[in-house]
Structure 1
């Protein structure tokens, strides 16, 4: 993502029926969208044509809500697995970034490192990982737990998880793959190294079974709001989503993130903080109002 002074970064968050819970019912909206891949493709291509930086897919690994009766009035009862969806969109676009959500609570570092490295290769260096720790209770029960990890443990695990993933991404050095047919050598073994990682939550030998990605590392994205979440975001994220709609709260959040980032030896310019908005678009102001 561009970080030029004065340059605004814009991302599009894609939901299968629109962001508003009832958007799928709007007569001019996406009533028939659902899992229609052409709808996702159209949005991604329009966003790319409009020079947006990336499309973003949110996710939970469970039904997005507990009340089935309430869910029947929304389009949130079903949604694509993000990496699968973005792998498809990689082939339907050329330049726009592709950001997928994946949880550190119910995955393993090797899986995540491999999948996002694959997406980065497939897309020519356009992959981003939105790092989450999971919030929906049903996610825990879908993975053999009665409840989530405790809040602080979730974020402690997440920090270690990201560290391991990044070590795996770096386990293939630049230029390791040479494809030397004359000497029958595909890669240089000295440039591929085990990571020998042993920590509190993970033990991973490595190396990764796919080479260094076009970006070196996919972009890391986060949306931490709690103290633990803000610490994680300040430590690892290049892009942070901010949910604040109050300017005073937004300024405090911005200050907290940038200050904490400097404590980790990061420059303030290394992080882009992007507030969320829900635009209503029309050819004129009145048309937009009428649509809304």
Structure 2
């Protein structure tokens, strides 16, 4: 297989792992309180990262003070994202939530222009504006389809945007796995403290298996996403991230009987289309 084909398969595998992980957590059906759930998944993730040290990527802590500050800001942001994302996940269709998250390439491009002073041409600005129209079609503000969980999804999407901006500011020498471990530990500690405010429940073996599977799938998604950046042409591979929406539609229908209405599907199509165009323009300009 060509490097581009291998890269595309790795990207699709990464997106499949992340979306299946979300679906697996949703299958727990709220049997475990949210903060206890976050704590248990975080604990398993941390153990797996330490056990697989060196296999998923370099792991060391000889990092400049500036980068440590950025890593901690990013980790705290991730804890906030986890709360809003999982709350939305348990209360709205998987495909709707995933579709809203597909807006991240657009919001990162816009935020980079505003806060990092990166040049963004008029074509990409128009694409961003059109993409936001697609998001409005998904969340349906002012209509019966809008609720607080849609707002939670949007907050999670904005959190991911801020997290990605922070990530861009990290020095290239900072190991990705170190950032992942610190993030997982921060979410673990935050969830553990928050879980003290609510009673813990006994975890059924089946639910425990789902939580463990989610942790493994998240690390699988991260593993594939690391390797996808090391092979093939990024401009060819990047659009395959939107296959996550296909997975969300299929899993939502098969396991939860969810199928979005025509307005949500149209909005998702607009978001994906404008996102692909934005990625194309960025790669074209980067290539000169």
TM-score by length of 2: 0.26
Q: Which has the higher contact order (CA 8 A, sep 6+)?
A: 2
Bigger helix fraction: 2
Pair member with larger Rg: 1
TM-score by length of 1: 0.26
Bigger strand fraction: 1
